[in-house]
Structure 1
Amino acid sequence: MRHVRTTRPQRHVRRSELAQLLRKPSFYLPSAVPALLVAIALTATATSSTVGTSSRPADVVISQVYGGGGEPGSIWTADFVELTNRGDEPVDVTGWSVQFAPPRERSWGVTRLSGRIPAGGRYLIAEAKGVNGSTRLPQADVAGSLDLGSTSGKVALVHNTTPLRCVASCTTVDGVRDFVGYGSADDSEGRPAPALSSTTAVVRRDVKVPTTGESTSSIEDDPGGPAGVEGSQDLADDVPGLTNSGGVDTDDNAVDFVVATPAPPGGQGDSAGRTARIADIQGRSHISPLAGRLVAAVPGLVTAVGRTGFWMQDPEPDRDPATSDGLFVFTGAAPRVQSGDTVRVAGTVTEYRPGGTAGANNLTTTELVRPTVSVISGAARRPVPALIGPGGRIPPTQVRTDAPGDVENDAPFAPTANALDFYESLEGMLVRVVDPVVVGPTSLTGQLPVLPGGAGSPRTKRGGLRYTPTDPNTERVLLDDLLAPLPVANVGDRLRGPVDGVLDYGFGDYRLEVLTTPESTSSRITPETARPAAPTDLTVSSIDISSVSLTGTASRGRQLATTVVRGLRSPDVLAVEEMPDDDGRAYDSQVGADDGWRALVGAIRAAGGPRYSFRQIDPVSGRDGSGPENRRLGFLYNPARVTFVDRGAPDATTATQVTSVGGKPALSLSPGRIATTSPAFIDARKSLAGEFRFRGRTVFVVANHFVSGRDESLFGRHQPPQRISEEQRGSQASVVRAFVDTLLNSDPDAAVVVAGGIADRENTPTLGVLTAGGGLLDPAAKLTPADRYSALLEGNAMLLDHVLVSRALSGTAVDVVHAQSEFAARWSDHDPVLGYVRFPAAPRGPAPPATP
């Protein structure tokens, strides 16, 4: 998705009125300025430059700097510097050098230059390589080994090869022809250019590519090249000395440079680029065979227009189903084209990886950046969208049928065998789904997973799509609201007729950017209510309150309380996950959560539920992976039905142990954290054990919130996906299982309940560790497969929440109460699982005393 943060550049009056105007991103010249004054002002500006001491103004400038090559998240394998010849004659740079120094250092590295840069030409200097990245730089004009700063640094273009020795004021040193400081650099022309990252460069603003208004691209939101289309020719014609092939140089790096997607030129004096069609650019692969190359005269028909670019499709497709005929053109700001325009585009082919460093597993999208766009005609009819689903193209059933590792590194490309390649072959094209059925509710971030034509399996009992280890449901299509709003829809709703959009990629999945808001027909599903419990059943459930502000907005708190009271019928014991501290500020000494617990108890009471009591342990600030809110696990229990056994003086760092009281197992600390020093719980919520008494029996309840969210996505670049958090969940399960085994070794008939977010998929190692050998029983296994799910992840229904019990409680049943995950209006994206814990007919031996 493209997002541009707009800022208002400061303006500086240092020379002439024109110099001030040139600092405006739009480079607007009022008609009142006489042409003669303009020419005089430009001459004065050029000859009064403070950079270097040459009597002849430099026609060659630094036009791009990129220091993130080879780093995680990078596309390019090496750093680079680009030079541009703004003049009308070739320039021989033999004997020149490009030099680099980190901030506050006087030791400069040198790369010697050679050869000629043609008029209007760009010159590529390849520098140090890294171990990451997927795309090599184009053939460079010269290669060096400078390790450019990935965030900050100083780059100088010098008219000799003598290493500089300056720390600051380098712009005035003899021989320095151009100078760029970026990030936290202590020296620069004017103010430094913005800081860089592994996915961003600083690019000099081209006169031929003006920005619209006063917007610039945001590093964290959406890196990309300067915005614009052809249209500044009038300025170049009116003002002597300005050309259409150079860059703006006002001696202020902050004004002259914008943060952009790295786009190295083709090298070897490449200034015109090769002609190409979209299929040539997309190729039969995930990475364009023309990545890094300048291309010209690319024909296209504009199919959709976004805020920072537009999609176009070849009006004469190559009819090869393995090569996409669609492409995104990134302009950086609102494009000056409309849907239906026939265009020809020149630009640099690049691969944009959404998410930056954090999105290192995301696939890239092929794009044109730093474009020049010519509108040939308008009001053309859109191409016929490619139909996905019944009657059209059917995606393969597996994401990848092989295990290629990084699919961007020469992996086989087989759209007829691999769903990952199937969707890549449609990237940027108009796509259609007809009468799709909703398999996941409209999300807060504006996505809606659907099943084209309602054709797919296995289904849930309420119309969703159930995930299995052998069926990842590649037939799902994720609709997105970038171009048009989506309807508020629940699982089972149907969208009417054809839904058209352009196929994009972001956040680990392909997504269809719908062109218009589709109409929907409701399935009329309603939230479920748990069946009543027998008086002799102990009811146990868990709730994750991470998305609820208990002390802030009350609406979600009321929804939560209603679910507890009406949906779950007020369980006897609730394992509460993610309770924050009361101030919610960044790590500080305030870790107490009494206000939050009282608010939760009060909300449930106001909804007609019992007056619950709570037990919990405050974490150490900044520990347990709990974020600045210091979130933790705790228990709510109904004292009219259950007694909590308080024992010892619990704290965050002391682990509870299994001890013996009256010949029966007991906890040394109740409540007490489990294995607080185990590596399995590094940067994770510590599982919490509590000892309860119910109808004369002792019950041990272990609340859990295993790690989640660190696994690579199904449609990511690494195949098969790396399951990093799954490995840690397996370790956490081993620790909990060892604790349960200690209880059962002390008493094989001990009543143990393990509840909460096990956060694992079906038939995977985590659950198997807990249930292996019958150590713990999974009552959910008795449910029909169509009912065995508690969460919908982008339309994939799976069971992530559990109530497991020891063998003595084999009569226990569970009910997954589908009251949240299927609905757009919800307080949680998980359905609670309610356990009906059933005890043997009579106690086995005397019960231990409630106190030591």
Structure 2
Amino acid sequence: MVGKTVKTKGVVTAIRKVRADTFFFVQDAAGDNDPTTSDAVVVVSKSRDIKVGDSVSVEGQVTETTEAPNHLSVTTISPAIIIKTGTAGLPSPVVIGQGGRSPVTEAIAGRDPERSGIPFFETLEGMLVTVEDAGVVGPTNKFGEMWVVGDHGAHATGMNSYGGITSTPGDSNPERIQVQFDKTLVDPTNYQLKVGDRLASVTGVLNYSFGNYEIIATTAGSVTSATLPSSPPLESGPQFVTVGSYNVENLDPKNEDLAKVYDKDEIDDDVGKGRFAKIAEHIVNSLGSPDVMALQEIQDNDGAEVSDVIAADETLKTLTAAIKAAGGRDYKWIDMPPVDDEEGGQPGGNIRCAILYDDAKAKPDLSSVGRITDPSFEATRLPLVARFAVGDKHLTVIDVHLSSKGGSDPLFGKVQPPKDGTLSKRTEQARAIKTFVRTLPDQNDPVIIVGDFNTLWFEEPLQVLTGGTPAFENLTLRDAPLERFSYVFEGNSQALDHALISAGASTSADFRTFHVNSVYPEEQQMSDHDPKVVRLRLSN
């Protein structure tokens, strides 16, 4: 059918303008009573004076449009002529959930719409649908998107105690549905929702965009706000050492100059927005001011400005001052600046790992401070290493930020199973870290590897790090499988941040993740990652 001129008719259920294009969702009000085929089509036209509820005739060319080579295509009639022939009531929306079409809960790829997510949603493409008692599993982001499951997750697999849905081996949760709020249809300002919140209902047309099926909302019901669980900090004391980890997401003290950045979207004012103060509150009040604090994504002093600046002393000075002002420790820091523009991240930002420490409790052996180098870390942050004396005991901390998963295939895409774009690279990075650990002079000292691994708990890089000699325990695995998360990506709760401890010391360790960011709307987040703390009773 692609390239052929066709004629059809139906009722306009929604109209959406995106840049220069106007998209009309046209549905056969009667339908064909075949649940394996859609009763609607997306029409791209410059026709004017067409409104929702108009009966129309359509003539135009069939196309399959796609936004990227690894994305699915959407059948459209484009270009097209639309002519109004009358008015009609809108067809009843198809219920996705109880009392309607039950979404698939485990497999994404396949041919059977009763067993696989992609063909299930394809049968509803362009149609008017509704989700009742929509539980928010992915908070509202800056694009006005959120992710929900129907019936408050009653029939979903993988629901966690926060009301989110957790990615586990073999289950990427195809039942979660992206909802797109467009201010011309439903203003997202009124729907800045967190994980666990509930919408009485959301109705709209089913579309596919940027690697996800989505409901473009035309109406949304009332909101019930959730009360989320919280955890107290792990108490410290003379018999313990506590080590925290926090990806602070491109933190810098500079409100960038437009003339010195590649794009205006790179400009941010972390001081003016209160990010330093709020992150400091997290470290003090939620994490309990750990003795040692491993940080990731510390930027240089002028942030995203393109310059020769690589020092981050002003960034770290601003953060440590904010921590002290919040009632926390008087931290000192360890920082080894990267070579300019060679370790990835936001252009100009020179992100790196840095370590804060309270030298009244943990004294670094400065001769031990260094970074792990290996060809696998090309365009990636090098791990930062420091050995600390705590009384007459010793502890080595390795602060990591492995390669991003950026560039991977979308879950709802052409490539099945989706390819993780940097899995092999992160696996080699894990091997390099493990090789380095074998060179440490005292193999009896406990070692903690913490940070942003950009790796799910069941993926190969973490198997490399925890297996073999010396053995490590991933403390993430002490949480129940559905509670293992530090990040929410497209509605999937997942663990990217971990704490690994050498096996000989693991029996003396406690561990806790603090969900202060990932479950909240993006406008309320101080970072897209949640911090963690390990408490260790040292014994050599």
Fold match (TM-score > 0.5): yes
One of 64, 67, 80 as aligned partner of 1:351: 64
Residue in structure 1 matched with residue 326 of structure 2 by the alignment:
607
Using CA pairs under 8 Å that are at least 6 residues apart, name the structure with larger relative contact order, 1 or 2: 2
Corresponding position of 2:9: 299
Q: Which amino acid aligns with 1:681?
A: F
Contact 1:741 1:775 in 2 (8 A): no
Contact 1:309 1:331 in 2 (8 A): yes
Of 363, 381, 393, the residue aligned with 2:72 is 363
Q: How does 1:686-835 map to 2 (within 5 A)?
A: 686-710=382-406, 711-743=408-440, 746-773=441-468, 775-810=471-506, 811-824=508-521, 825-835=524-534
Residue 567, structure 1, aligned to residue 264, structure 2: no
Deviations along 1:767-790, one digit per CA (max 9) or x if unpaired, are: 111101361112232223343221
Matched, 1:513 2:513: no
Partners of 2:409 and 2:459 in 1: CA distance? 16
Is residue 2:399 matched to residue 1:679?
Answer: no
Q: Residues of 1 paired with 2:141 and 2:528: CA distance?
A: 10
- Aligned counterparts of 1:559 and 1:336: Cα–Cα separation in 2: 49
Matched residues in 2 for 1:319 and 1:390: separation? 19
Given the alignment of the two structures, is residue 328 of structure 1 paired with residue 47 of structure 2, yes or no? no
2:346 equivalent to 1:632: no
Corresponding residue number in structure 2 for 1:457 = 157
Check conservation: 2:294, 2:356, Cα contact below 8 A.
yes
CA separation of 1:790 and 1:335: change in aligned 2, threshold 3 A: farther
Greater fraction of residues in strand: 2
Task: Give the SS at the match of 2:426.
Answer: helix
Amino acid corresponding to residue 339 of structure 2 in structure 1: V
Secondary structure in structure 2 of the residue aligned to 1:645: strand
Q: Does 1:494 align with 2:171?
A: no
Q: Does 1:434 align with 2:434?
A: no
CA contact (8 A) 1:305 1:335 kept: no
Q: Is the 8 A contact 2:57 2:83 kept in 1?
A: yes
Q: Bigger shift: 310-319 or 507-516?
A: 310-319
Measure how far apart 1:427 and its partner are: 1.0
Give the distance between the partners of 2:231 and 2:519, measured in 1 at CA.
11
Is 1:466 aligned to residue 158 of structure 2? no
Q: Decide whether the 8 Å contact of 1:447 with 1:479 is kept in 2.
A: yes
Residues 548 and 305 (structure 1), Cα distance of their counterparts in 2 relative to 1, 3 Å cut: farther
The residue identity in structure 2 corresponding to 1:291 is V
* Larger Rg over CA atoms: 1
Structure 1 segment 126-525 matched on structure 2, within 5 A: 290-295=1-6, 297-307=7-17, 308-331=22-45, 336-354=49-67, 359-378=68-87, 380-400=88-108, 413-454=111-152, 455=154, 456-482=156-182, 483-486=185-188, 487-496=191-200, 498-525=201-228
Give the distance between the partners of 2:89 and 2:83, measured in 1 at CA. Answer: 18
Match of 2:275 among 548, 556, 562: 556
Distance of 1:477 and 1:599 partners within structure 2? 40
Q: Distance in 1 between matches of 2:138 and 2:321?
A: 32
Counterparts of 1:826 and 1:319 in 2: how far apart (Å)?
45
Gaps of 5+ in 2: 255-268
The size of the alignment, in residue pairs, is 508
Structure 1 Cα separation of the partners of residues 249 and 108 of structure 2: 34
Q: Name the CA distance, whole Å, in 2 between partners of 1:418 and 1:557.
A: 44
Q: Which runs of 4+ in 1 moved over 4 A?
A: none
Question: Which secondary structure state, in structure 1, belongs to the residue aligned with residue 472 of structure 2?
Answer: coil
Residue 576, structure 1, aligned to residue 295, structure 2: yes
Amino acid at match of 1:323: T
User: Displacement of 1:382 after TM fit?
Assistant: 0.7
CA contact under 8 A between 1:529 and 1:819: conserved in structure 2?
Answer: no
Query: Percent of aligned positions with the same letter in both sequences?
Result: 33
User: In the alignment, is the contact (CA less than 8 A) between 1:821 and 1:831 conserved in 2?
Assistant: yes
Q: Could you tell me how far apart the structure 2 residues matched to 1:320 and 1:510 are?
A: 21
- Label 1:814 to 1:577 Cα distance change in 2 as closer, same or farther (>3 A): same
Contact 2:250–2:351 (CA under 8 A) maintained in structure 1: no
SS of match in other structure, 2:195: coil
On the 8 A contact 2:252/2:302 being kept in 1, the answer is: no
The amino acid of 1:484's aligned partner reads V
Q: Is the 8 A contact 2:45 2:82 kept in 1?
A: no
1:807 Cα offset (Å): 2.5
Tell me if the contact between 1:501 and 1:514 (Cα under 8 Å) persists in the aligned partners.
yes
Deviation at 1:531, TM superposition (A): 3.1
Query: Residues 13 and 25 of structure 2 are in contact (CA less than 8 Å); yes or no, is this contact kept in structure 1?
Result: yes
Report if the CA contact (8 A) 2:133-2:150 is conserved: yes
Is the contact between residue 389 and residue 475 of structure 1 (CA under 8 Å) also seen in structure 2?
Answer: no
State how far apart, in whole Å, the 1-side matches of 2:85 and 2:125 are.
24
Distance 2:229 2:278 in 1: 14
